[in-house]
Amino acid sequence: MERTFLMIKPDGVQRGLIGKVIQRFEEKGLQLVAAKLVQITMAQAAAHYEEHRDKPFFGELLEYITSGPSFAMIWAGEEIIQVTRAINGKTNPVEAAPGTIRGDYALRKGVNVIHGSDCLESAEKEIANFFTHEELACFLYPADPKEGMTT
User: Which residues here bind Mg ion, judged by CB under 5 A?
Assistant: 118
State the Cα–Cα distance between residues 14 and 147, nearest whole angstrom: 38
88 annotated to bind ligand: no
- For residues 122 and 4, give the distance between their C-alpha atoms in angstroms, rounded to a whole number: 9
Instruction: Give me the least distance between CB of 125 and ligand GDP, in Å please.
Output: 13
Q: Per CB under 6 A, which of residues 13..52 are in contact with ligand GDP?
A: 52
Please indicate if the annotation marks 85 as binding a ligand. Answer: yes
Shortest spacing between CB 85 and ligand GDP, in angstroms: 7
DSSP secondary structure, 90-120, as one string: -SSTTTSPBTBHHHHH--BTTB-SEEE-SSH
The answer to whether 57 contacts ligand GDP (rule: CB under 6 A) is yes
| 115 assigned to active site | yes
Percent of residues in the chain assigned helix, strand, coil, to nearest 5: 40, 20, 40
* Residues that bind ligand GDP in the complex, under the rule CB under 6 A: 52, 57, 60-61, 91, 109-110, 112, 115, 118
